Amino acid sequence: MAIVINDNSIYKDDIIVMHSDVTLYEEAAADIVSENGGNILEIGFGLGISANKIQSNNPDKHVIIEIEEEIYNKALQWANGKSNVEVILGDWKTTVDSITDKFDGVYMDADRDDQEDLKLFSSKIKHLCKENCVLVQTSWGFDSDIPRNKNTYKTITLDDNTKKWYYDDTLDIIYVTLTDNNWV
């Protein structure tokens, strides 16, 4: 499986997996999970768009899990000199159990995962989250109850570049907060 990383896109086996046209969305989602600082967990580095936004909110610690070695190496270069960043190579499904940090915010951007794994992500990482932890996933899994029963979301007005990907003028970014060990 060949990974091709350009300045504004990433392709895997000739299929686009990330593009800078979604900067508006990536930054808004990253801002939701990191605006209060603390410890932030990010699943997927991509082009580093969300990572840059998270860093602009001065988190105490920023842990990034990246499955693709080429993108992991790019993340390591990006993290050079950032003492609050830890980059882990691996699949989140096998690495989250080895993490001992507790997080105030989680951004899950591995939307090409199996639908069942995406659906179960919020329960699989709950043990890593502090009370009032905020979670945003780019894809919740088709059968997840969270997006269908959305209570908390931020609506963003899309620019022309982002509209190409989402085919609408606005987009709701759904997020949940851990309260009394439940995502609400």
What is the Cβ-side half-sphere exposure of residue 61, based on CA atoms within 13 angstroms? 11
Identify the pLDDT of residue 76.
98
Q: Does residue 11 register a pLDDT over 90?
A: no
Comparing 51-60, 72-81, 144-153, which segment has the lowest mean pLDDT?
A: 144-153
Tell me which H or E stretch contains 66.
strand 61-66
Parallel/antiparallel/unpaired status of strands 153-157 and 170-179: antiparallel
As given in the structure block, the two tokens for residue 31 are: 């801002």
Q: What is the mean pLDDT of residues 27-36?
A: 96
Identify the pLDDT of residue 1.
61
- The pTM of the full predicted model, rounded to 2 decimals, is 0.93
| pLDDT confidence bin for 161, thresholds 50/70/90 | confident
Q: Does residue 45 register a pLDDT over 70?
A: yes
Q: Mean pLDDT, the chain, as a whole number?
A: 91
Contact between residue 170 and residue 28 where contact means Cβ atoms under 8 Å apart: no
Q: What is the mean pLDDT of residues 67-77?
A: 95
Identify the pLDDT of residue 16.
80
Q: Does residue 133 register a pLDDT over 90?
A: yes
3 state DSSP class of 124: helix
Parallel/antiparallel/unpaired status of strands 15-19 and 170-179: unpaired
